[in-house]
Structure 1
């Protein structure tokens, strides 16, 4: 199912979106949807406050207090010098 989202734009804003979508070789609707979703995902990832439902709190505490797992691939990667230092 899809729904319509209506946005009011000035003529200049519309022209900018049309130019950008043309360069991206897509239509304005697809361009705006893709860019809006990318921005929303970034905004959600940058949130500093996390809410954990009460029903999940004990499970979260068990996970947070559990000893760290050693992951061989990460251990090997951390032993290598960064590529920018080569």
Structure 2
């Protein structure tokens, strides 16, 4: 695989930093003894933020990396297909 930064990576990093902040907040809530319902709601928000970041990353990867590999044909297409199969398990 080749290291590559896509235009969406900046947005994905922002999403993950927000999720990181929310997760730190949940930890603080646990330490403060907040009600489980509040904790569950905040954990759902963290999970959703991470899921959305993951989905954006995978969709971006499929559009750019997979698309480029298929356009090249031959060995590049086979490598792109193998990479697609590998990343698809995270959907």
Higher share of residues assigned helix:
2
The question of a shared fold, defined as TM-score above 0.5 by the shorter chain, is answered with no
Give 1 or 2 for the bigger CA radius of gyration: 1
Which has the bigger relative contact order, CA under 8 A and spacing at least 6?
A: 2
- Name the TM-score, length of structure 2 as normaliser: 0.28
- Name the TM-score, length of structure 1 as normaliser: 0.29
